[in-house]
Structure 1
Amino acid sequence: MYSVLDTPSEIKLMEKKLYYTAGSLPVIMGILASILAADFGYLLLTVCFLCCYIPLFSGIRKKYEKDLIQISDILEQLILGKGSPVISENTDSLISKLQAQTVRIHAMVTKYNEKLLEEQEEVRRFLSEIAHQIRTPLTNMETYLDLLREQTLTKEEQITCIRAVEQSERKIKFLTESFISASRMEHRIIQIRKERQSLRETIAKSIFQVRKKAEEKHMEITLECSEKIFLPHDRNWLSEAVANLLDNSIKYSPEDSDIIVRAVKNEMFTQVEVRDFGMGISGDENQIFRRFYRGSDVKNQEGFGIGLYITREIVKRHEGFLKVKKEPDGTSISIFLPC
């Protein structure tokens, strides 16, 4: 492991050496000139001294010039992107310390550039996914609007077209709001305001949000949560996270089935489990929280694959985590929050 410069003191020391070495020569020459004026014997001594001093000074100067050239070459390699520079074998020298420090800077810049490229690729995929998700409802709207322009439609057909346009409009609105929420959550624009409050009331709010969808499929949602469970959380955002889990369960569960929401508190975490008796999860269960991810067995069903992603971001902002468990007759997704 190569040592690096902790402070600029060693660099300043090198500058002082150069300064004093070069600056002391005129002073010495002046002193010797005064001596020469008094005694010839000192002349011989001065000549001998200069014969030794000048080559020594020249050697020191060349050494520092070589070191500076090496540093310049290293920087040039980094600028041109020719890979990591070679460090001098003498690890105790100032040049090798500067080289080691330069290599560290190079590694940091390389890592930053790689991260920047990953973010750019993520933005590209995100924009592509947005275009793909919005294209279908827009196409449907255009189709039904063209039909409405025809004068041959009956009253019932016109109503059907209008309802289809309204449905596509709701999808686009939902997607837009979801994109905004996801983006704001990612960039921490949204503030999570935690207050110690009843978890049961928060979950009840989530159930109320999806009540109509559950009734349409004749499904019953059962809440098992003690009224004594209180923990710090943002009610608005946590209720949305649980509602997204419930919405997912309703969407992929058969009619007349049940959903159980169970909350259990232990010493470190409070677990909120959403248990359904639906079609289950195929493949890697950890993938379902990726943005726009949709399993191969649900491709033909309505959905956008963004609700669970937003849930994950909300839970992360609460310093919690999610756990998915495959059941023989359904799926269990749990939110774990610190008490």
Structure 2
Amino acid sequence: MLRNKEIYLFIVTSVLIVVIGILIGWRISPATAMLVAGTGILLAVSYLLLLFWRYHRLQQLTQYLRRIMAGDTSLDVRDNREGDLSIVKNELYKMTRMLSEQQEMLQEDKDQLTDAISDISHQLKTPLTSMTVMADLLSDATLPDPKRQEFTRHLQKQLERMEWLVSSLLTLSKLDAGTVQFAKEKVQVQDLIAEVIAPMEIPMELKELHWNIQGDEQTSFTGDKNWTKEACINLLKNAIEHTPTAGKIDIHFKENTLYTEIIIQDTGKGISKEDLPHIFKRFYKGSHAANGSVGIGLAMSHSIITSQQGDIEVMSRLGEGTSFIVKFYKQII
């Protein structure tokens, strides 16, 4: 402590002042000199005790900082007393909590990246295995041309499936990481539904499905049209896959003072009560999932809609069809 230059100068200055006071007091009377000396010694001892106490608290803070640098962010040094050191301790606690939260966020990002890589690897394994087998068969010089053409078509389908898988999984990863920037523009629901149905008309005609669209042409919401279209296409695709031939799909939309609502309803097989709580989970395939289903379409729709502060819910019963209800809430100023 005495190696501190400021403290050393303060002690030397204090001693000189006390000595000068004693000399002046001695000229007045010996008693005055003794009083000055006693007062000076008491002040010096009090100051030294205060210094020892402050140094002890500083040592505690130093140990606390060393533990933080070692990775221990669970310490709590909050101090509700008055004083400079108490303020420093409270600020250090705030910094520790901030570092802890940042560390947790970094760990979450790492976990998400690991999960994304694991998901992509898992989903690509099946088509890659199939393509390897077909490539071996195509290498056979005696393979008949009809079979060669058939295997080539299968290879093309698997490549398209892989491209879709990678694109979808990367999109989900971006949504999870919060790196997707959603536009905030006025979207006319009638125009949105028209764009959603356009790429689905041929599959609906092939299954002889009837569809009905009802809603006020002035209905709108604030959001990202392109991303919302992607979400609704996935919902409509799911409805088409699970609706039998000559079935019906209804799309209703309306707007009120609280939210804009879009309902996509089908007369398909429905979803069991056991599957309903898990329907938006990634890679979850219910007991009535279509052949070749991966289980990411509904998860993507859910992420896109909730990322825009919207809400999506499902109502369904086995044999009675399914309704997906999407709500975009009005902004509260």
Instruction: Please say which of residues 132-141 and 302-311 is displaced more in the overlay.
Output: 302-311
- Does residue 146 of the first structure (1) align with residue 147 of the second (2)? no
- Does residue 35 of the first structure (1) align with residue 32 of the second (2)? no
CA distance 1:258–1:22, change in 2 (3 Å) = farther
Instruction: Please say which of residues 76-85 and 328-337 is displaced more in the overlay.
Output: 76-85
Per-residue deviation, 1:81: 5.2
Per-residue deviation, 1:164: 0.3
Q: Report matched runs for 1:233-312 at 5 Å.
A: 233-282=223-272, 283=274, 285-298=276-289, 301-312=291-302
Question: Which residue of 2 is the match for residue 112 of structure 1?
Answer: 102
**8 Å Cα contact 2:73/2:97 also seen in 1:** no
Distance 2:20 2:260 in 1: 85
Of residues 190, 193, 212, the one that matches 1:203 is 193
Distance 1:179 1:289 in 2: 15
Instruction: Please say which of residues 29-38 and 116-125 is displaced more in the overlay.
Output: 29-38
- Does residue 337 of the first structure (1) align with residue 328 of the second (2)? yes
Deviations 1:71-122 (A, max 9, x none): 2233344444567446589845655554454444434433433343333222
Question: Which residue of 2 is the match for residue 176 of structure 1?
Answer: 166
- Does residue 216 of the first structure (1) align with residue 206 of the second (2)? yes
Of residues 156, 164, 188, the one that matches 1:166 is 156
Per-residue deviation, 1:128: 0.8
Deviations 1:254-297 (A, max 9, x none): 33322111112222111111112223234353432233332344
**8 Å Cα contact 1:323/1:333 also seen in 2:** yes
- Does residue 25 of the first structure (1) align with residue 14 of the second (2)? yes
Distance 1:92 1:252 in 2: 68
Residue identity opposite 1:248 in structure 2: N
Q: Report matched runs for 1:219-230 at 5 Å.
A: 219-230=209-220
**8 Å Cα contact 1:270/1:337 also seen in 2:** yes
Aligned residues: 322
Which consecutive unaligned segments of at least 5 residues does structure 2 have? 1-5
Which consecutive unaligned segments of at least 5 residues does structure 1 have? 1-16
SS in 2 for 1:332: strand
Question: Which residue of 2 is the match for residue 231 of structure 1?
Answer: 221
SS in 2 for 1:196: strand
Residue identity opposite 1:288 in structure 2: I
Instruction: Please say which of residues 271-280 and 158-167 is displaced more in the overlay.
Output: 271-280
Question: Which residue of 1 is the match for residue 3 of structure 2?
Answer: none
**8 Å Cα contact 1:312/1:322 also seen in 2:** yes
Question: Which residue of 1 is the match for residue 126 of structure 2?
Answer: 136
Per-residue deviation, 1:63: 1.4
Deviations 1:221-256 (A, max 9, x none): 322223232333433222221111011112233333
Instruction: Please say which of residues 170-179 and 67-76 is displaced more in the overlay.
Output: 67-76
CA distance 1:86–1:304, change in 2 (3 Å) = closer
CA distance 1:91–1:189, change in 2 (3 Å) = closer
Distance 2:270 2:131 in 1: 33
**8 Å Cα contact 2:116/2:173 also seen in 1:** no
**8 Å Cα contact 1:286/1:324 also seen in 2:** no
Instruction: Please say which of residues 243-252 and 74-83 is displaced more in the overlay.
Output: 74-83
**8 Å Cα contact 1:88/1:95 also seen in 2:** no
Instruction: Please say which of residues 104-113 and 239-248 is displaced more in the overlay.
Output: 104-113
Instruction: Please say which of residues 165-174 and 322-331 is displaced more in the overlay.
Output: 322-331
Distance 2:322 2:90 in 1: 53
CA distance 1:317–1:121, change in 2 (3 Å) = closer
CA distance 1:226–1:85, change in 2 (3 Å) = closer
Distance 1:20 1:297 in 2: 85
SS in 2 for 1:172: helix
- Does residue 316 of the first structure (1) align with residue 275 of the second (2)? no
Residue identity opposite 1:289 in structure 2: F
